[in-house]
């Protein structure tokens, strides 16, 4: 199992929790740390993670990535570029350990709640409100039901040191505003709001999976011709129709407005329409059949 | 059409907007105001609404209800008791006008967004996040896409007076905290967050309706015996199973935990279980059939 350890409190709790549990189990743990090179202190933090692993008798893989340069080259935010570089690194370390290796990250219930609020604020539908999955491929998140405050309290009680990332307090980052302002305000309405949001995320994921399965079956039934066109006589409920078309069109997803316009056209009184879907893709409707190309 | 007019800015905009539109239409408008008797100034406000209606040549029905006494008698919050008394009064006025009468309320996009945030904070699933419906029975909400700030600006520009309810600034009311603290903070993340939340509510309603229709069909298929028991061999996806059982059990809804426990029992290795569902109701499972009673 690869442990993703930044050196902050959550991943330090993951490291010590996994090490304690592994004593009675046949786990083989490897610590992985990606130095994002965004702060002067980051090399020092990387060395501290390596030293902590060595003190616990665990192997460590530490790599340095110039996340600022990656972000600039790919026109991504620092957060996006950092996340992508981090997961790519973790997957490489896991692949090096052989098949069956898992990657454990230290995401908490607080992270899941923050993700749901961020996506809701930015205008998501149900799909975006799934929160953070407890498992995806070989990535596992054993702390997803734990509160960040409980992990910190446990570390402090045990006298275990951890790094406090100063960028976590910078209100220029949207997630920090959610963490520092929005969640505390919501907790005044409901002290258990983090648990409520995490539960909502799990229910949303179940509902979303069910609707996706329905959409896949509906698409297979309606794509009945030899030319790959989709029969839109007797259209399904709009909630299902949206998902059928989203699935048929594939990635990158067109805007919600384009999909609504396509369905309005396919279900409207006029015989034919043509709509751009972005990325050189288009759709046309004739005689209540939808053709994508 | 009955116009629900509190005298605040939103309903004053509804009153003047409906009056302006009715000139070219065959609408017959009646102003309805329920004095909640919660503030010393409320009788004065009721008189002001009646005077405004008279000045516009519209009939008005004004009634006084002791909402505090209703709330105490029924062990409800002032907000709940007021809402129930208000809608009962509006329905009575509409019934008095004859069949075909509609009731228009002044709910705005801000109200819809606040409702979604309140329910999310309190731990709702998809069902609770439907926002405020644009139409329910004979109740219509023509301002549901309008921003509260735009209505106020229009009234101020036209020099039309309205009442400012001092209780709307009281942070003891959860809705006022959402309005005064939470939504402004979310708007710093996304200036169009109110529209994003309102759109989420509409999508959630569509998804929720579709899932409910599926659940009703699934329940009809599984309730196949003469004894009204429900066949739970080959259980459906949990997202659907939850809704099937919620529908079969009816109101008042048991807690989510009870429904999960019932489904865990019905799908688990043990042959039989019995579970209390509250309100004197119970469920038992034998040979993969669920019996409610």
B188–A contact, CB cutoff 8 A: yes
Distances A261 to A107, A255, B102, B208 between C-alpha atoms, Å? 38, 10, 31, 22
As a whole number of angstroms, the distance between CA A4 and CA B212 comes to 41
Report chain B residues whose CB lies below 8 A from the CB of A174.
189
Distances A105 to A4, A194, B17, B162, B199 between C-alpha atoms, Å? 5, 19, 55, 55, 33
Tens-digit pLDDT profile for residues A186-199: 999 999 999 999 88
Higher pLDDT, B248 or A164: B248
A204–B contact, CB cutoff 8 A: yes
Least CB-CB distance to B123: which of A123, A190, A242? A190
**A211/B207 CB distance under 8 A:** yes
Tens-digit pLDDT profile for residues A253-263: 999 899 999 99
In terms of Cα–Cα distance, which of B13, B9, B58, B57 is closest to B32?
Answer: B58
Give the per-residue pLDDT at B45. 93
Encode chain B (293 residues) as per-residue pLDDT tens digits.
Answer: 999 999 999 999 999 999 999 988 989 999 999 999 998 889 999 999 999 999 999 999 999 999 999 999 999 988 899 999 999 999 999 999 999 999 999 999 999 999 999 999 988 888 888 889 999 999 999 999 999 999 999 999 999 999 987 777 777 788 899 999 999 999 999 999 999 998 899 999 999 999 999 999 999 999 987 888 999 999 999 999 999 999 999 998 999 899 999 999 999 887 678 999 988 999 999 989 999 98
Least CB-CB distance to B121: which of A118, A190, A242? A190
Average pLDDT for chain A? 93
Report chain B residues whose CB lies below 8 A from the CB of A200.
120, 123-125
A176–B contact, CB cutoff 8 A: no
| Mean pLDDT confidence for A39-64 | 95
Report chain A residues whose CB lies below 8 A from the CB of B240.
210
Residues 6+ apart with CB under 8 A from A169: A176, A180
B214–A contact, CB cutoff 8 A: yes
Give the per-residue pLDDT at A110. 95
**A120/B196 CB distance under 8 A:** yes
Give the per-residue pLDDT at B108. 96
Question: Coil, strand, or helix at residue B30?
Answer: strand
- Residues A185, A195: contact at Cβ < 8 Å? no
Give the per-residue pLDDT at A271. 66
Q: What is the ipTM of this complex?
A: 0.86
A186–B contact, CB cutoff 8 A: yes
Cα distance from N-terminal residue to C-terminal residue, chain A: 44
Give the per-residue pLDDT at B271. 66
**A200/B237 CB distance under 8 A:** no
The pTM of the full predicted model, rounded to 2 decimals, is 0.88
Distances A14 to A23, A142, B10 between C-alpha atoms, Å? 14, 8, 52
| Mean pLDDT confidence for A167-184 | 86
What angle in degrees, to the nearest 10, is found between the helix axes of B9-22 and B148-158?
70
Report chain B residues whose CB lies below 8 A from the CB of A216.
none
Least CB-CB distance to A122: which of B178, B182, B196? B196
The DSSP secondary-structure symbol of B130 reads: G
**B239/A214 CB distance under 8 A:** no
Residue A79 pLDDT exceeds 90: no
B230-231 β-sheet, strand order: B230-231, B289-292, B281-286, B273-278
Tens-digit pLDDT profile for residues A241-287: 999 999 999 999 999 899 999 999 999 887 678 999 988 999 999 98
Report the 3 state secondary structure along chain A.
Answer: CEEECCCCHHHHHHHHHHHHHHCCCCCCCEEEEEECCCCCCHHHHHHHHHHHHHHCCCCEEEEECCHHHHHHHHCCCHHHHHHHHHHHHHHHHHHHHCCCCCEECCCCHHHHHHHHHHHHHHCCCHHHHHCCCCEECCEECCCCCCCHHHHHHHHHHHCCCCCCCHHHHCCCCHHHHHHHHHHHHHHHHCCCHHHHHHHHHHHHHHHHHHHHHHHHHHHHHHCCCCCCCEECCCCCCHHHHHHHHHHHHCCCCCCHHHHHHHHHHHHCCCCCEEEEEECCEEEEEECCEEEEC
As a whole number of angstroms, the distance between CA B38 and CA B249 comes to 38
């Amino acid at each position: 199992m690869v442990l993703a350890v930044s050196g902050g409190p959550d991943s330090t709790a993951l490291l010590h929790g996994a090490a304690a549990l592994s004593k009675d189990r046949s786990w083989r743990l490897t610590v992985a740390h990606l130095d994002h090179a965004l702060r002067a202190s980051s090399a020092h933090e990387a060395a501290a993670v390596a030293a902590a692993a060595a003190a616990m008798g665990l192997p460590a893989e530490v790599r340095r990535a110039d996340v600022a340069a990656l972000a600039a080259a790919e026109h991504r935010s620092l957060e996006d570029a950092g996340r992508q570089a981090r997961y790519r690194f973790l997957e490489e370390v896991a692949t090096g350990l052989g098949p069956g290796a898992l990657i454990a990250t230290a995401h908490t219930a607080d992270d899941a709640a923050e993700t749901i609020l961020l996506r809701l604020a930015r205008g998501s539908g149900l799909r975006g409100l799934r929160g953070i999955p407890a498992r995806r491929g070989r990535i596992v998140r054993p702390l997803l039901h734990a509160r960040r405050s409980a992990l910190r309290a446990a570390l402090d009680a045990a006298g275990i040191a951890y790094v406090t990332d100063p960028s976590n307090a910078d209100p220029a980052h949207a997630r920090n505003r959610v963490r520092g302002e929005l969640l505390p305000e919501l907790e005044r309405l409901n002290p258990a709001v983090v648990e409520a949001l995490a539960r909502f995320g799990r229910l949303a994921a179940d509902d979303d999976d069910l609707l996706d399965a329905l959409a896949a079956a509906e698409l297979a039934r309606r794509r009945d011709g030899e030319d790959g066109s989709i029969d839109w006589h007797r259209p399904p409920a709009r909630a299902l129709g949206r998902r059928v078309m989203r699935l048929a069109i594939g990635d990158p997803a067109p805007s919600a407005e384009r999909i609504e316009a396509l369905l309005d056209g396919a279900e409207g009184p006029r015989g034919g329409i043509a709509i751009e879907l972005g990325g050189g893709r288009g759709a046309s409707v004739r005689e209540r059949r939808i053709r994508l190309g």
